[in-house]
Amino acid sequence: MFGGILASSRTPLGLDFGTRSVRLLQLGCGKQEWAVAAAAEAALPADLPAQGPDRHTALVELLKGLLAQGGFRGRKVVSCLPSACVQYKSVRLPRMPDEEMRTAVEWEAKERMRPAHASANAGELIVQFYDAGEVRQGEEARQEIIVMAAEASAVTEHVAALRAAGLVPLAIDAAPSALARALARTGAALPGASTDSSAPEEEAPARFILDVGFGVSKVLIVRQGRIVFYKTIEIGGGRFDQTVATKLNLPLADAAHIRSSLRREEPAAASPPLFGSDRRESVERAVFEALRPLVEELVREVGLCLRYYGVTFRGRRPEQVLLAGGEAGEPSLIKALTQEASLQVAPAQPLVAIDPALLLNQGVPAQSLAAWSVATGLCLRPPARQAQRRAA
């Protein structure tokens, strides 16, 4: 099932750096099935600097703490950069040989993307890209390219923190790749989805993934195993919490606690009695109304992404959305996607055919397993040699 990823019974560690938390995961194979072999999660310090020696020290201590929680075998790791460190942009280029394409993409990146820090310059960007496929621009055929760029200094600092914590970096993967890899089997299991790789590309249904995190939401569209669209939207759990706190005149911590309880279907009695009643219905209604404008804004952005995909690739519009990320269980978002965007909503299941018992025993609710999608995809990244053979 894992395509010969390993000669051993354990995957490399998958390290997902989120906006607010860090997740470390390792999968293992027993006598009969794959399972979560080790897992740990920790919140990032609220006062963590954006860069510099203090950030390095804090991250090293945090990573050592995760490793010390036990169960991890080996120290080889596949990680991803925090979303704030990576810029994405779609460009269209004439068709050209692979080597010329790489040169052209790097030139486009240096022209269109700028480092976040004034001390850096465009030449200090590390550039990678996805070839999304051929599109028509008027009468001309072009290649749709999704460009990813990160500051070289951010990559250097990231690797230095991993090594200082005792980890051995194998690769820094991109979040879209990890998401697509982890959820490939989930999409195939959805009603109406097809696994026929022989179908014409324009007729193949696309897999649509919405990863709603604390800082941003990620929109990913995959068709026949190829990433054809990716965009980040600056709406996530942090803005949800702040909106509820402002609209209901609550401390931010109370707003976050109420939203967390509703997502986990916990009794609302633990919520502050500011509604005049501790009935769950009244709490749900107040939070729903507070979040309505922001959720509608996010759903509008999702609709624009789907429209761009339909116009650009002229393929079948995705009918289902896989919800991933720590905010995947937000009830108002699920309702809006169903009613406003006319999408079937299904929770992402990154651990399909993988026993999640260890995570569940650690107190992770079953409906929150979607938050481990990126970490799962990082664990499942094929070794470099295998990836090169596939590309060839």
Who contacts 53 (Cβ-Cβ below 8 Å, separation ≥6)?
A: none
Residue 256 has pLDDT above 70, yes or no: yes
Whether the CB-CB separation of 273 and 284 falls below 8 Å is answered with: no
Model confidence at 293, pLDDT cuts 50, 70, 90, reads very high
Which pLDDT value is given to residue 221? 95
For the stretch 231-245, pLDDT in tens is 999 999 999 999 999
Model confidence at 38, pLDDT cuts 50, 70, 90, reads very high
Which pLDDT value is given to residue 225? 87
Distance CA 37, CA 169 (A): 19
Who contacts 47 (Cβ-Cβ below 8 Å, separation ≥6)?
A: none
- Rounded to an integer, the average pLDDT of 273-298 is 80
The count of other CB atoms within 10 Å of the CB of residue 387 is 12
Q: Which domains does the chain have, with CATH numbers?
A: 184-348 (3.30.420.40)
Distance CA 258, CA 240 (A): 11
Residue the block writes with tokens 């990813």: 148
Q: Tokens standing for 336? A: 């809006």
Phi, psi of 391 (to 5 degrees): -65, -40
For the stretch 48-102, pLDDT in tens is 887 788 889 999 999 999 999 878 999 999 999 988 889 999 999 998 998 899 9
DSSP characters over 95-143: ---HHHHHHHHHHHHHHH---SSTT--GGGEEEEEEEEEEEEETTEEEE
The count of other CB atoms within 10 Å of the CB of residue 10 is 17
Model confidence at 268, pLDDT cuts 50, 70, 90, reads very low
Phi-psi bin for 4: left (phi > 0), alpha (psi -120 to 50), beta? left
- Rounded to an integer, the average pLDDT of 159-163 is 96
Length of the chain: 392
Distance CA 180, CA 160 (A): 27
Instruction: Tell me which long-range contacts 388-391 makes (C-beta under 8 A, separation of at least 24).
Output: none
With H, G, I as helix, E, B as strand and everything else as coil, classify residue 366: helix
Mean pLDDT of the chain: 84
Q: Output the pTM of the full model.
A: 0.86
Residue 387 has pLDDT above 60, yes or no: no
- In this structure, the strands spanning 344-347 and 320-324 are parallel
Residue 3 has pLDDT above 50, yes or no: no
Distance CA 207, CA 341 (A): 15
E strand residue ranges, the chain = 13-17, 21-29, 34-43, 76-80, 86-94, 125-137, 140-151, 168-173, 207-212, 217-223, 226-233, 320-324, 344-347, 354-355
Q: Name which of 290, 259, 289, 291 is nearest 272 in CA terms.
A: 259
- Rounded to an integer, the average pLDDT of 247-272 is 76
With H, G, I as helix, E, B as strand and everything else as coil, classify residue 197: coil
Say how far residue 236 (Cα) sits from the centre of its chain.
12
Q: In this predicted structure, which of 210-214, 288-292, 313-317, 366-370 has the lowest mean pLDDT?
A: 313-317
